[in-house]
Structure 1
Amino acid sequence: MPTKIHPTKALLISTTVDLLGTKLPGEIAVDEILEASGISKGSLYHHFEDLGELLEAAQVEIYAAWVDRSVEALVGMIAKVKTREDIVTGLKLVTRFTQDKKYSHTRFQRARAIAAAEHNPRFKKRLAEEQTRLTDALIDLINEARNKGLYAKDFDAHAGAVLVQAYTLGMIVDDFVVNQMDPEAWYDLIDKVVDKVFLV
């Protein structure tokens, strides 16, 4: 059974998540969080070692929310498919959902979190737990599709799970350039990769 988070701690995290929607982690001050949440400084430092730990917790929360959305979309799709045509249609929808331009901000948030974790063992451990949860869910979904006779068995499921995430997050390299690619051309390329590599 999951451990229930203390309401004060939860409020501090959700307040910080809201602030991270419009600000970078380094732009957020303790007093700003306290004012927005109505929580005292003493309570904040009772639940968190320092501001850095609170910012890490909020970034993990954002990362976890993306994991939840991604897994939910894929689980729902795999549960319904019965034929190759079904899974082709479902995967096209998932590709367009996860890689839409409107999620550019989310990709930047994820990239910032990953970069910040590189030299921070505490943050790296927590972020890795969420990352592993997503990778494991994708491995399970690949195996489920294989059990339904829809996915090829000539590639490693773990490698396949990482590849899917690599091209999803990889969209970020086009998010900030002036001469951006045609999204439909990108979707078409991914559809071809899925068809030739993943499907039978």
Structure 2
Amino acid sequence: MFDHRDVPIRQHAVEHLTPMARHDSRTQLVDVTLRILLERGIDAVRVDEVAAEVGVTKGSLYWHFSDRNDLIKEALIEHVRRLNEEFVEGVGSAIATADSTTDYLVRIAPFIVDPFDPQQSETRRRRLSLILEAQASPEFAPLIREAQLRSLNVYADLMRDAQTRGFLRADLDPLAVATALHAINFGSIIIDVVGEGGPSRDAWWGLMFFFIGSLFENPPESGSQ
């Protein structure tokens, strides 16, 4: 019998706060810019600081990027790409290899946001702050909108694959499911905001697995093992 408390909720593999270490100067420039964006926001990005930290000249930076805004745009695109990469790979693998609904749920558990994990909450807060700041900018809002739409469409494709494998209910719209899951990802930050006044960890996860289970063609059985 399935019990949501038996499903391991581990550190979310998707939400990298610290950029991944790479060696070529263009990627290093993007990495440093992304770190500054997440830590201090768009206004804090200074070309001199970024170039100095990477150890290149401003001329080298401008060889890769036409101007400061171009550098920031590339960092924002990379941010969204990294956030999606492991989630897409992990959930895609679960869809391809799971042999039952319960097995599928266990396999995707590490990729479900845990609002009770302080590190994840901080990562998500910074990510949301960056997206909202960029959305408020006429220069960057179209980029963020396009990146978020791409994310939703990638998630929707995963949901279509889940329907093909017989996991996700055929009567559900894949884009609507993807949007709902995305909204839970963002919106669950309220648990960190309200603290002890919010739901307990067990109550929250019980509801989440009930909700996710309701999306399945063959919901996992509830109860104790």
Normalised by the length of structure 1, the TM-score is 0.80
Please say if 1:157 is aligned against 2:161: no
Give RMSD over aligned pairs. Answer: 2.7
Range that drifts further, 15-24 or 158-167: 15-24
Letter in 2 for 1:188: G
Q: Gaps spanning 5+ residues in structure 2: where?
A: 1-23, 219-225
Aligned residues: 194
Q: Report the counterpart of residue 208 of structure 2 in structure 1.
A: 190
Query: Which of 138, 159, 163 lines up with 1:146 in the alignment?
Result: 163
CA contact 2:124–2:189 (8 Å) conserved in 1: yes
Q: Report the counterpart of residue 15 of structure 1 in structure 2.
A: 32
Deviations 1:11-30 (A, max 9, x none): 31122223345433333433
CA contact 2:134–2:140 (8 Å) conserved in 1: yes
Aligned pair in 2 of structure 1 residues 177, 50: CA closer, same or farther (>3 Å)?
A: farther
CA contact 1:15–1:37 (8 Å) conserved in 2: yes
Q: How does 1:15-54 map to 2 (within 5 A)?
A: 15-20=32-37, 22-54=39-71
Letter in 1 for 2:92: V
Deviation at 1:139, TM superposition (A): 1.5
Tell me how far apart the structure 1 counterparts of residues 186 and 109 of structure 2 sit (CA, whole Å).
17
Q: Report the counterpart of residue 123 of structure 1 in structure 2.
A: 140
Deviation at 1:163, TM superposition (A): 0.4
Range that drifts further, 120-129 or 24-33: 120-129
Deviations 1:87-106 (A, max 9, x none): 23234343256984422233
CA contact 1:145–1:151 (8 Å) conserved in 2: yes
Q: Report the counterpart of residue 57 of structure 1 in structure 2.
A: 74
Aligned pair in 2 of structure 1 residues 56, 112: CA closer, same or farther (>3 Å)?
A: farther
CA contact 1:14–1:58 (8 Å) conserved in 2: yes
Higher relative contact order (CA 8 A, sep 6+): 2
Tell me how far apart the structure 1 counterparts of residues 44 and 216 of structure 2 sit (CA, whole Å).
43
Deviation at 1:121, TM superposition (A): 4.8
Stretches (4+) displaced over 6 A: none
Identity among equivalent positions (%) equals: 27
Tell me how far apart the structure 2 counterparts of residues 44 and 152 of structure 1 sit (CA, whole Å).
49
Please say if 1:167 is aligned against 2:184: yes
Range that drifts further, 92-101 or 58-67: 92-101
Partner-residue secondary structure (3-state), 1:155: coil
Letter in 1 for 2:177: G
CA contact 2:95–2:104 (8 Å) conserved in 1: yes
Q: Which structure is higher in helix share?
A: 1
